[in-house]
Chains A and B, each alone.
Chain A
Amino acid sequence: MEQSTADGLQAAGVRRSFGNVVAVESMSLNAPRGQVTALVGPNGAGKTTLLLVLATLLVPDAGEVSVAGFDPVGDPASVRARTGWMPDSFGSYETLTAREVLEFVAAAYRLPAARRAERAGELLALVHLSEYAERPVHVLSRGQKQRLGLARALVHDPPVLLLDEPAAGLDPRSRIELRALLRGLAGDGRAVLVSSHVLAELEETADRVVLVDRGRTVSQQRMADLDLGQLRPWRLRALDAAALTAALDARGVDHGPPSPAGVEVLLAGDAAAAELLAALVQDRVAVVSCAPVAGSLEAAYLAMTESRR
């Protein structure tokens, strides 16, 4: 059955407990096709449990779930055929080569025999592991295994991707490549759900963010809407720090002490920053940089977890 492109991933009021430990109390999220949705929350917030429900491994105690238009409990096979899942921690068949692992997974997803070797080659190239194709998995580094895990999730070209901490253990170059890869996958019309702690990464990758804490969805919004009207620190740097602080004082903008990194000011969003910058340029201050001290995602995350401390 062909699904419309609107069918990404929807979950509403999902609840799951293990014995008397409630792992997920009430989580809702929406991951539309063509977008990268970030699932963000502290350790133990229930992210992995939610992903296990979406990946057809756990029956939720309550709630409605639809993955690619199918119910993971009622019709797990249809969901599996359309979902690529990469767990947060996973093992691998250490004695097999990278190519053999992917060919087996391809067979397990019932790709025709003639297509398996070809698909394994494509995926190895995609995650830059071609030169390790014939090497046993146990010689791969952690980051390389992580990339193999991602390739594994993509074997059957699924329209929905569930990636649990895909950036863990990746070196800076691999992270940048992962970012481009995720954007590309979403660009092909896939629904990509990524959980991660590396907020700076998600900031540049995600279209939407779902903040979760203690088993509940705290908020769910577009990244662009994240910091509307919220005061947060920005850092300004100019060729002449004294001129900068003088200009700020003249305009009555509260600021912190000058440091080699620059001067911090509190601003409410991008528009306010642009306005201040224009004014400073008008005052002939040679500003060389103006950027938020922390990403908007980090700020939202810190605001959410404030109460925990």
Chain B
Amino acid sequence: MSARTALSGVLTMAGHEFRLRLRAGRWRWLLGAWFIALAVLLGLMRLALVRSGEEEVGTPMLGGLMLLVLALGLLVVPALTAQSVNGDRERGVLATLQTTLLTPLEIALGKLLAAWGTALVFLAVTLPLVAWCMFEGGVAIGRVAITLLVVALLLGVVCAVGQCLSALLARSTTSAVLSYVFVFALTIGTLVVFTLAVAATTEEREVQQRRFEYTTQIAHPERVWWLLAPNPFVVLADAAPRVEPELNRRGRPERSTVDPLGAMGDAVRETRESDQGDAFASIAPGDREPGGPVWPYGLAFNVALGVGAVALTERRLRTPYRSLPRAVRVA
């Protein structure tokens, strides 16, 4: 089969699914509520920044907005795909779809595209708010583009995983719950596991410093930093280009603006630095190994997760079935 046929198959499926979604929901209300909630929060954020004497509010506003969009997106998106496959089966439309000439991959990709497209509509609705941040000044266009791209990708991954769960599990309520558990594990779970892992890898060491001899505890976040990498907020914050530090009067680089993304990113990169426990060694700058970026690992992990989810969905859509999971009817 040619790539062109396959593409048209994917588009057929995506267009159909998108139309079904469009007719099923009260999108105008949902998108309106989404926009208003974000606009109110952004307005409050601006007010808070101005009152605290911040001069350039564009950058922190954008950072805060993107973190909010990601957080709300992670709440909304699992619901978009949690019933993609088993919901169709429950409604009795899956088997007749599988007996058409659409391949399982076309069905999986088409459904994913429609769900992701819906998620991107939510993202598109926030564009006026992004424009507001840019209007405030001091926001590089590259920073806007990269943060939007990362959020879009991360929402796509959640769509793919939700769809995969709906293909694996017979009941749509179970897959919906598990989609939310997945998002919880990715956001809160990574943070908890990382914190526990740091505590677990902490060593005690005897340190002799001239006449003093004491025991110190040395944490080794550099051994477990990767546990934090898949966290969507970490990926977003660390991937956002840093605001160029300005030189202060003494010629030292100094970050003048508050930047929530940059601050989070720096904090995460610090976990990659190895602290040898030599309490005084770190005074001399340059001795410490600079922590490298974390986001490439996190983003790669998430994208791999999404691709794997699509591959698994495709497998589960393949017919004829040799064996059937319990409680699954073919048609």
Residue numbers of B with Cβ under 8 A of A are 5, 8-9, 12-13, 16, 19-20, 23-24, 91-93, 95-102, 319-322, 324, 330-331
Cβ contact within 8 Å between A55 and B99: yes
Query: With contacts A57-B320, A93-B20 known, is A80 near B100, CB below 8 A?
Result: yes
Q: Are A91 and B24 in contact (CB under 8 A)?
A: no
Stretch from A34-42, A104-112, A123-131, A219-227 at the B interface: A104-112
Q: Which of A69-77, A187-195, A205-213 contacts B (4 or more CB under 8 A)?
A: A69-77
A166–B13 alpha-carbon span in the complex (Å): 27
CB distance from A297 to the nearest CB of B (A): 26
Cα(A85)–Cα(B9), bound, Å: 20
A96 at the B interface (CB under 8 A): yes
The answer to whether A108 and B319 have CB atoms under 8 Å apart is no
The answer, among B12, B96, B101, B324, for a CB contact under 8 Å with A90, is B96
Q: Smallest CB–CB gap between A256 and chain B, Å?
A: 46
Q: Is A287 part of the binding interface, using a Cβ–Cβ cutoff of 8 Å?
A: no
Taking the complex as formed, is A81 at the interface, i.e. its CB lies under 8 A from any CB of chain B? yes
| Chain B residue with Cβ nearest A76 | B320
Interchain CA distance A303-B16 in the complex, whole Å = 49
13 A-B pairs with CB atoms under 8 Å apart are: A56-B320, A57-B95, A57-B320, A57-B330, A80-B99, A81-B101, A85-B99, A92-B92, A100-B19, A105-B100, A109-B101, A110-B9, A110-B101
Q: Contacts A87-B96, A105-B100 known; A58 to B330 CB distance under 8 Å?
A: yes
A-B interface, 7 closest residue pairs, ranked by CB to CB distance from nearest? A91-B92, A108-B100, A95-B23, A91-B91, A107-B12, A87-B331, A59-B320
Evaluate contact between A90 and B331: CB separation under 8 angstroms.
yes
Report the Cα distance A105→B320, complex, angstroms: 20
A91-B91, A91-B92, A95-B23 are known contacts. Are A77 and B101 too (CB-CB below 8 A)?
Answer: yes
**Complexed CA–CA distance, A87 and B330 (Å):** 10
Q: How far is the CA of A85 from the CA of B319 in the complex (A)?
A: 15
Counted as pairs of residues, one from A and one from B, with CB atoms less than 8 Å apart, the total is: 80
Apart from A57-B320, A80-B100, A92-B92, list 8 A-B contacts with CB within 8 A.
Answer: A57-B321, A80-B101, A90-B92, A95-B20, A95-B24, A96-B20, A104-B12, A108-B101
Name the B residues within 8 Å of A73 (CB-CB).
320
Q: Are A72 and B320 in contact (CB under 8 A)?
A: yes
Is the CB of A83 closer than 8 A to any CB of chain B? yes
Point out residues on A near B: beta carbons under 8 Å. 18, 52-53, 55-59, 72-73, 76-77, 80-81, 83, 85, 87-93, 95-96, 100, 104-105, 107-110, 152
- How distant is the Cα of A89 from the Cα of B23 in the complex, in angstroms? 24
A95 — which chain B residues lie within 8 A by C-beta? Answer: 20, 23-24
Selected contact of A59 from candidates B8, B95, B97, B322, CB within 8 Å = B322
Partner of A85, one of B13, B96, B101: B96
How many whole Å from B55's CB to the nearest CB in chain A? 52
Please state if B92 and A96 are interface contacts (CB–CB under 8 Å): no
Q: Which residues of B contact A91 (CB under 8 A)?
A: 91-93
B24 neighbours in A (Cβ, 8 Å): 95
Nearest B residue to A95 by beta-carbon distance?
A: B23
Beyond A57-B320, A95-B23, is A108–B330 a contact (Cβ under 8 Å)?
A: no
Knowing A52-B330, A52-B331 are in contact, say whether A76-B319 is a contact too (CB < 8 A): yes
Measured CB to CB, the closest approach of chain A to B260, in angstroms, equals 42
- B12 and A87 within 8 A (CB): no
- Within the complex, which residue of A56, A90, A104, A109 is in contact with B16, where a contact is CB–CB below 8 Å? A104
Minimum Cβ distance to chain A for residue B45 (Å): 39
Give min CB distance, B275 to chain A, whole Å: 57
B-chain residues with CB within 8 Å of residue A52 when the two chains form the complex? 330-331
Which of these, B100, B102, B331, contacts A57 with CB under 8 Å?
A: B331
Cα-based distance from A273 to B5 in the complex (angstroms): 61
Q: Is the CB of A87 within 8 A of B20?
A: no
- Report A-chain residues with C-beta under 8 Å of the C-beta of B13: 108
Closest to B319 in A: A57
B104: min CB distance to chain A, Å: 11
Shortest beta-carbon distance from B321 to chain A in Å: 6
Q: How far is the CA of A93 from the CA of B19 in the complex (A)?
A: 10
Instruction: Give chain B nearest CB distance to A13 CB in angstroms.
Output: 17
Query: Is B102 a contact partner of A108 (Cβ separation < 8 A)?
Result: yes
Q: Provide the bound-state CA to CA distance between A128 and B239, in Å.
A: 59
Distance from A221 Cβ to chain B, minimum over Cβ atoms (Å): 29
| Interchain CA distance A95-B322 in the complex, whole Å | 33
